[in-house]
Copies of this chain bind each other. A is one copy, B any other.
Amino acid sequence: MTMTQGIAHRQVGEQFEGFLLIKSVDKGVTSSGKPFLTIIFRDRTGEIEAKLWDSTKEDEETFMPEAIVQVHGEIRQFRGKNQLNIRQIRLSNEMDGVRVEDFIEKAPVELEEMQDYLTQMIFALENPNIQRIVRAILKKYNDDLLTYPAATKNHHEYASGLIHHIVSMLKIARQMKDLYSEINTDLLYAGIILHDIGKVKELSSPASPTYTLEGKMLGHISMMVDEIKVTAEELGIEGEEVMLLQHLVLSHHGKGEWGSPKAPIVREAELLHLIDMMDAKMNMMNRALESVEPGEFTDRIFPLENRQFYKPTI
């Protein structure tokens, strides 16, 4: 299969022919009473809304979310946003050789490389209690850790985004150790590795994640704080390490309004919070600036106080 140019980069008036993944489908009726489908397509570069006019019952049953289709059509504009006007559409088949993964954005670093780095950092943990707890928890969640995004939107919201976020934070942390030698790296590294793993239970799936019931009721922070307690009991580990790891996870959002019932009161907990914020913000800015030219502004970035960022020409 030849990947066509990304759907997000097409211009109004262009013809489109290629494969797309269906993200969602809604049924509608025109003012003259005729049925149509509003389909959101996606590929790695983004999404586009499309209209399939005069849709049949069969269309409705064929073109379902998660299906890959081949589409011919034209890019038009509607209320200031691009829209794909479908002329032809058919379901893809095995012969097309297309896979769901081809249409989903993923981390910009190779998975294997990230896994290696993570393993290496776990070996660097010197406190045996901390190392055992980290290993035991990673073992439980290993598969999901490799595929989950770090969030449903805003930052690292792509396949393997979670491990990408963890690894980037570990790299910052390792540098901080050189500058501020007082840091307890066992605490800081372990905190970074564990802090967001609760997302694996908070979110429903790596591909198109939504919040689980438990996620809404308890949240990834409380779930991971529980997990550390339960794991420590299973391993028969007692001592300040357990409470400290719980505190690092519990406080990593920084304050109550942001979801942490306790603010950090251990240096490494505060630093974990700062590194988390820094990596998340850099990820957002870098990805937004990637798709604009020098001299231009990005779209508004909501979690960065809705600012638009400028790309210098120098």
Excluding A184-B314, A225-B225, A225-B226, 15 further A-B contacts by CB distance (< 8 Å) are A12-B27, A175-B178, A180-B286, A182-B290, A216-B262, A217-B262, A218-B243, A218-B247, A222-B261, A229-B229, A230-B233, A257-B257, A263-B305, A270-B285, A270-B309
Residues of B within 8 A of A261 (CB): 219, 221-222, 256, 259-261
Q: What residues make up the interface of A, taking CB atoms closer than 8 Å to B?
A: 12, 26-31, 33, 51, 53, 76-80, 85, 127, 168, 171-172, 175-176, 178-180, 182, 184, 186-187, 213-214, 216-219, 221-222, 225-226, 229-230, 233, 239-241, 243-244, 246-247, 250, 255-267, 270-271, 274, 277-278, 281-282, 285-286, 289-290, 297, 304-305, 307-310, 312-314
- The chain B residue sitting closest to A239, CB to CB, is B314
- The chain B residue sitting closest to A294, CB to CB, is B240
A131 to B90 Cα, complex, angstroms:
56
Partner of A278, one of B33, B267, B278: B278
Partner of A175, one of B172, B239, B257, B259: B172
Inter-subunit contact A266/B310 (CB<8 Å) = yes
- The chain B residue sitting closest to A279, CB to CB, is B179
Show 10 A/B contacts (Cβ-Cβ < 8 Å), sorted by A: A176-B282, A180-B282, A182-B289, A218-B243, A218-B247, A219-B261, A257-B257, A264-B307, A265-B310, A274-B277
Residues of B within 8 A of A168 (CB): 179
Residues of B within 8 A of A176 (CB): 172, 282
A308 to B12 Cα, complex, angstroms:
39
A258 to B274 Cα, complex, angstroms:
18
